[in-house]
Each structure stands twice: as C-alpha cells, then as structure tokens.
Amino acid sequence: MKRTLSIIKPDGVAKDVIGEVIKRIESNQLKIIAMKMLQMTKTQAEGFYAVHKERPFFDSLTDFMASGPIVVMVIEGKNVIDKYRELMGATNFEEAAEGTIRKDFATDIEKNVVHGSDSPETAAFEIAYFFNTFEIASR
C-alpha cells in the first residue's frame, strides 16, 4: 500500500493552516490524489476512531472531530505512511520534532492539527471511510 489518509482536523482548519499542510505534503515528493472538506457527525467520528473506543479520551476526541469542518485527503508516494507520519510529528506536540506540522501548529495533545493512517490496514479502512474509487485520481 502506497497510499495514506490525511485529515486536517477542525483546529487546523480553524487556524488557517490548510495551505501549510498541503505545501509540506507537496514539497516532500508526496502527491494528493483525492481531497474534500466536510464536517463529520458525532456518529461518523465514533466510527472513524472505533479502534480507540476504550480510551479515556474517546468521547472528547470524537466531539472535537465533529466540531467543525475537516479536510480529508488521500496521499500517494513511496513509503507514504511513515513519511507522512514523520511530517506530522509525535501525537503530543510537546514531544514532536522540530519542523514537524504538530510542533509548528499544535497547542494541545488532542487538538493536534492532523491525522495520518498508521499502517496499510488502517489506511485501507480510512480511505474507504471517506472516498469511493471514482473520487480517487490516478496521477
């Protein structure tokens, strides 16, 4: 699998860093092959983050993810899953490396600007959660 799902979360959209995130993707040899803006319902957010349903932060996280518009993208490229997670930085912005998206723009462990799939299996599930095959370009 050389595709991953990226989300610019509600805080990232509110902070007007959509362009910044896209610039970092495009300037690192990764290609956007699908993209749209939408707002999830609470139920859709719960379905997306179902793997985390036992976590103490699940209710707050899914409220947050449904709180405003998000930008969802499919990104393609060599080693894209690891490469995009490297561009994002650690979950906790305080532990994120210099120059990463979360280090530069996040201010909260929950509201951390971006999401990226963490394995080929989750990428397949997450891409199909938002896009059908006709919405994904081949470039």
- Cα–Cα distances (Å) from 13 to 51, 70, 122, in that order, read 24, 6, 23
Q: Count residues near ligand ADP (CB under 6 A).
A: 9
Looking only at residues 67 through 96 of this chain, which bind ligand ADP when binding is defined by CB under 6 A?
91
Burial class (CB in 10 A: 0-12, 13-18, 19+), 51: exposed
Residue of 34, 62, 115, 117 marked active site: 115
Using CB under 6 A as the binding rule, whether residue 15 contacts ligand ADP is answered as: no
Minimum distance from residue 107 beta carbon to ligand ADP (Å): 12
CA 66 to centroid of chain Cα atoms: 14
57 vs 129, beta carbon nearer ligand ADP: 57
Q: Which of 20, 118, 124, 136 binds ligand ADP (CB under 6 A)?
A: 118
Q: Which of 61, 74, 101, 127 binds ligand ADP (CB under 6 A)?
A: 61
**Helices 18-26 and 80-88 meet at what angle, rounded to 10?**
140
Query: Which residues are designated catalytic?
Result: 115
